[in-house]
C-alpha cells in the first residue's frame, strides 16, 4: 500500500509559538486532508486540499498541497493550549476512494 511519512512524530512547544508539520508520500496524490484528534475522540477534519500548490487557511491553521503532489504541510500560528492533540494527514489518489493516513504528529503546548 501507499506509504505516508509524517514528521515530526511529536512536538513540545511554548504557547504562542508557531508549529509546522509535514507529510510525504511515495506516490502522487490528488487530495490531501488534515485532521486533528483529541484524546478519546475521532479525528476532526481541519483542511482539505485539491490542487497542487493550493494554500488554504482555516483560522490560525494553514495547509499547502505540495507542487510535486507528493507532500503537504500544515502550519499553526500562535499556538494555544487547545491546539494539543494528534494531527493526521491523509492522502487519496482518486476522489471518493481509499485514503491513506500518516502516523500522526502529537502536539503538546506548554502554557
**Residues making contact with other proteins (CB under 8 A):** 4, 31, 33, 35, 40-45, 48, 50, 88, 90, 92, 95-96, 98-104
Which of 48, 84 has the CB closer to other proteins?
48
Supply the minimum distance, in Å, between the C-beta of residue 107 and other proteins: 16
> Could you tell me how many residues make up the chain?
111
- Longest pairwise C-alpha distance within the chain: 41
Supply the minimum distance, in Å, between the C-beta of residue 63 and other proteins: 14
Which of 8, 16 has the CB closer to other proteins?
8
* Contact residues for 82 (Cβ-Cβ < 8 A; gap 6+): none
CB atoms within 10 A of CB 109: 20
Supply the minimum distance, in Å, between the C-beta of residue 30 and other proteins: 9
Number of H helices, E strands in the chain: 0, 11
Which of 79, 105 has the CB closer to other proteins?
105
Amino acid at each position: 500500500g501507499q506509504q505516508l511519512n509524517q514528521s515530526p512524530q511529536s512536538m513540545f512547544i511554548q504557547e504562542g509559538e508557531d508549529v509546522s508539520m509535514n507529510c510525504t508520500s511515495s506516490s502522487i496524490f490528488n487530495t490531501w486532508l488534515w485532521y486533528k484528534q483529541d484524546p478519546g475522540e475521532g479525528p476532526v477534519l481541519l483542511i482539505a486540499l485539491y490542487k497542487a500548490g493550493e494554500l488554504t487557511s482555516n483560522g490560525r491553521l494553514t495547509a499547502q498541497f505540495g507542487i510535486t503532489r507528493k507532500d503537504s504541510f500544515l502550519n499553526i500560528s500562535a499556538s494555544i493550549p487547545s491546539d494539543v492533540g494528534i494531527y493526521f494527514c491523509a492522502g487519496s489518489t482518486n476522489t471518493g476512494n481509499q485514503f491513506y493516513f500518516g502516523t500522526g504528529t502529537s502536539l503538546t503546548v506548554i502554557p
